[in-house]
Amino acid sequence: MPELPSIAHVALSVTDLAASTAWYEQLLGVEPAMTLADGPFERKVFALAGGQLFGLTAHETARPGDRFDVAAPGLDHVGFACPDRAAVAAWQTHLDLLGIAHGGVVEADYGWALSFTDPDGNALEFFAPAS
């Protein structure tokens, strides 16, 4: 059996690439590292800590008005790694300053999570595992 892989990148489909790019630039505090247009789509890619890539994709065949559905087969949510609860709390303050609605920091046996959504309803989370 091959060695267990890590995740190299995640790409989310969005309805308005310019608006979503601006929203994620505010959220993450950085501009996309690259733009790709080598298929029937355009993608903006953000470079995250640890070498992972996070992409936003606008497909030519996108259906206007569609929104993410967490209950449909496919992606449930994207969890951004935080080292500890304090880091999750710092992201909560950042979301508050940006006016982004969220569910507050939730504690579970396995860690702390702060859930929110992007303009297309894609489910996102800042997460720190329990030590």
pLDDT of residue 62: 81
Question: pLDDT tens digit string along 6-36?
Answer: 899 999 999 999 999 999 999 999 999 999 9
Q: Are 68 and 121 in contact (CB under 8 A)?
A: yes
Question: pLDDT tens digit string along 51-104?
Answer: 999 999 999 888 878 888 888 889 999 999 999 999 999 999 999 999 999 999
Q: Checking phi first, is residue 121 left (phi over 0); if not, alpha (psi -120 to 50) or beta? A: left
pLDDT of residue 16: 92
pLDDT of residue 81: 96
| Whole-prediction pTM | 0.92
Q: At what angle do helices 85-98 and 17-28 cross, to 10 degrees?
A: 130
pLDDT of residue 65: 80
The CATH code that applies to domain 1-62 is: 3.30.720.120
Same fold, 1-62 and 76-131: no
Q: Distance between CA 44 and CA 11 in Å, rounded? A: 9
Q: Are 23 and 119 in contact (CB under 8 A)?
A: yes
pLDDT of residue 128: 97
CATH code matching the domain that covers 76-131, chosen among 1.10.1420.10, 3.10.180.10, 2.60.120.10, 3.30.365.10: 3.10.180.10
pLDDT of residue 36: 95
Question: pLDDT tens digit string along 100-117?
Answer: 999 999 999 999 999 999
Domain residue ranges in the chain: 1-62, 76-131
Q: Are 43 and 90 in contact (CB under 8 A)?
A: no
